Each structure stands twice: as structure tokens, then as C-alpha cells.
Amino acid sequence: MIMDKENYKLYNIDCIELMKKMKSDSIDLIVTDPPYKTTKRGISKNTNTGGLVRSELGKQGKIFEHNNVPIKEFVPELYRVLKEGSHCYIMTNHVNLQEMLNTCTESGFHFIKCLIWDKGNKIMGQCYMSQFEYILFLRKGKHKKINNCGTSDILSIPNKKAKDENGKNLHDTEKPVELARILIENSSNEGDLVLDPFVGIGFVPIACKLTNRRFIGTEIDKKYFDITVNRLNNIKDR
């Protein structure tokens, strides 16, 4: 399945499959939220510990079926397709932070700093309650300033999720479009090409459409692919 328009190309395939076909140094910006490995809180019988997922997937440290994309496979491809002097933002959690950062630097990325997304709401955990997620801010090659140097490295944006007709979350780990918009406007210009190989329900491509950027990406889950296509089609072109 493909959504193929002049400025927006979305594929319902594995991200590695698409990136292997892409030219090196062809992408102006990467903003992506890879599927996280989670702690295995889903097996806990003590509800006070705040089990994240009480399911067979949760017992494997997963939230989604397609959670097994090896970091060491997709990160080098991100680096290869990104243009020299361009930025890359990768969202991650404390479980994956060390492996993700190590793999990024081993692949050639320069680590600039770690941004914080303050979600506003707290999630119960076995130790401290979780209120934020990490965003690795990386670059390929030479230094490049962001467009708004007055932006804080703590991005406080409420974690409001899109709902279906029954009031259920369309996606359990959806990120706000506003979060993607800030990153995209700071590290690209109108008409630039943005890549997200883990689209989910579309917070990055939606932000691209709202800010007049071109977009290419993949979502392997057909359900989420269809939701993203529908959401994009409901936004008028600028």
C-alpha cells in the first residue's frame, strides 16, 4: 500500500526495505519515534506498580506487534540517507537510551544534546513516576544552527491523544503534532524533505503538511497506515 502524492509519500512496508532503496544524502531532516522496548511491567500482579501493558506482548517487553526493528539495522541507514550538515531527532526512553545513543555515534552521528519532552502527565512506575521522554538531537557533519535559538531544550507539550468513536486511543504512544512542528520548523525550511520511518498515526507527516515541508516515510502496521492516510487527507493543502 502506498500514499503517493507530489509532496507526501507514505509506504505500508518495512522501514529498512524503503531506506535501502533511497539515495544517500537525499534527506534534509529526520524526525522519528521508533518503537520502544519497554520494561516487563506487564507481568506484574501488583497494580500499584503501574503495569504498562498486561498482555502477552507486554510480557515480552513490547507494546506493539512490530517492536523488533534492531537499532543497529535502521540507525546506519538513517545516517546514510541524511544530507551532510543536517539534523536528526530520535525519540527514546530510558530503557533504550544507552543503546540508541551508542549506535548513533558509532554510525557517524554527532550527538548535540538530549532534549526533554515534558508530557505533563505522570505514569506510575516501580521507582519514580515517569513524566518525560528523551529526544536525541543529532547532526551529520558540520555544525548547523537551529532556526529559533530561543527554543528551550525542555519542550512542555501536553500528551493529548487522538481518540476513536468509542473514546479509545488511536495509538497508545502517539506524540503531539505540536512537538514535531517545533523540531521541523527549527531544523528545516519550507520545501525541505523530511523522513520518518516509524510513522505511527502520523504526527510527523501531519506537522510536515502544516508547515509546508515534503515528507517520505513508512508505517508497517496497516491499521496505523490507514489512520495516517485518513488524517492527512482531512488536512487541506497550504
Please check whether residue 166 lies inside any domain of the structure.
yes
Residues in a beta bridge with 138: 88, 111
Q: What is the pLDDT of residue 57?
A: 45
Please check whether residue 84 lies inside any domain of the structure.
yes
Q: What is the pLDDT of residue 38?
A: 58
- Domain CATH for 114: 3.40.50.150
Residues in a beta bridge with 115: 135
Nearest Cα to 140, choosing from 20, 25, 59? 25
Cβ–Cβ under 8 Å, residues 31 and 204: yes
Q: What is the pLDDT of residue 51?
A: 37
Please check whether residue 64 lies inside any domain of the structure.
no
Please check whether residue 18 lies inside any domain of the structure.
no
Question: In sequence order, what are the residues at sequence separation of 6 or more whose Cβ sits closer than 8 angstroms to the Cβ of residue 188?
Answer: 28, 29, 87, 194, 213
Q: What is the pLDDT of residue 174?
A: 81
Q: Where are the beta strands (DSSP E) in the chain?
A: 2-4, 8-11, 27-32, 82-92, 110-123, 130-140, 154-156, 193-196, 214-218
Q: What is the pLDDT of residue 1?
A: 67
Instruction: Give me the residue label for grid cell 539495522.
Output: 73
- Given a cut of 50, the residues of the chain with pLDDT beneath it are 39-63
Number of domains in the chain: 1
Please check whether residue 11 lies inside any domain of the structure.
no
Residues in a beta bridge with 114: 136
Please check whether residue 229 lies inside any domain of the structure.
no
Q: What is the pLDDT of residue 65?
A: 58
Range of the domain at 167: 24-34+69-193
DSSP string, 100-152: HHHHHHHTTPEEEEEEEEEEEEEE--SSSPEEEEEEEEEEESS----S-TT--
Q: What is the pLDDT of residue 35?
A: 87
Cβ–Cβ under 8 Å, residues 57 and 38: no
Extract the C-alpha cell encoding 126: 516501580
pLDDT digits (tens, 9 = 90+) for 57-66: 444 444 455 5
DSSP 65: S
Q: What is the pLDDT of residue 44?
A: 34
Please check whether residue 127 lies inside any domain of the structure.
yes
Helix (H, G, I), strand (E, B) or coil at 164: coil
Please check whether residue 61 lies inside any domain of the structure.
no
Q: What is the pLDDT of residue 61?
A: 45
